[in-house]
Amino acid sequence: MIARNPIKHLSMGTIFMAALLASLVGTKTVSAELRFYDDAPHASTWQAFYSQLPAIWKTDKIIIVQEVSHQQLAQIFKETYGYVPANVNDMDGCYQFGGERIDADATISILNTLHGDAAIEVFAHEYGHFVWDQLLDRAQRAAYRQLWQQQKAQHRLVTGYAATSPEEGFAETFAYFFCNRNELHAKDRPSETFLSALLDTPADKKQVAQATP
């Protein structure tokens, strides 16, 4: 569940973005499903990409999305996982199941110094954690874990960071699938195929209400 995004220098490419429901003081309703901070610099960008997201990965769950400083990100990580990682200065995002808001199904925190493609890429990675945590079912996670073990043993995962854990492997694959599909195809075609197959899953399958193994 640790959600630090290592993607660097990717082209924006074809990217389908996530359902965001960020409701704190000073928010505005963008649509029935999307709500952003009035001053969130990337709200319009995320809204535009959300409209292209395949139905299977849209959600009616509440996802709080916030842009925070390095110090705030470190504190969020500490409160969530109980420690501050040694590479805290390299962190650019964090996914939490739930969060401080009682109505939040998940919270995504993104470093506020990111701009352009980098902000999209980090969000893609963190939203990949949400997909893994709350949209995939047990069988799908088990199937990816098996694939991840195979690709890790062959040193064929899309990035070194993807080898950290199956969860990080999926989040990296998800981000590359939408941000740099060509590189994913070249480095880890089986994982690309796995993501493509998920798109064929019926979109009306029930979304889980809590994190599952």
Domain that includes residue 122, residue range: 27-198
The answer to whether residue 34 is domain-embedded is yes
The answer to whether residue 49 is domain-embedded is yes
The answer to whether residue 6 is domain-embedded is no
DSSP of 78-98, one letter per residue? Answer: HHHHSS--TTGGG--EEEEES
The answer to whether residue 206 is domain-embedded is no
The answer to whether residue 8 is domain-embedded is no
CB atoms within 10 A of CB 24: 12
The answer to whether residue 4 is domain-embedded is no
Q: 75-84, 120-129, 158-167, 192-201 — which is least confidently predicted?
A: 75-84
- What does pTM read for this prediction? 0.77
Q: Which structure tokens are listed for 67?
A: 């842009």
Question: Tokens 């893994």 label which residue?
Answer: 132
The answer to whether residue 204 is domain-embedded is no
Query: Based on the structure, what is the number of domains in the chain?
Result: 1
The answer to whether residue 2 is domain-embedded is no
Question: Tokens 């962190």 label which residue?
Answer: 91
pLDDT at 189: 98
- The CATH number of the domain where 162 resides is what? 3.40.390
Q: Which structure tokens are listed for 147?
A: 């694939």
Nearest of 104, 82, 83, 77 to residue 3 by alpha carbon: 77
pLDDT, mean over the chain: 76
Q: 107-111, 128-132, 177-181, 200-204 — which is least confidently predicted?
A: 200-204
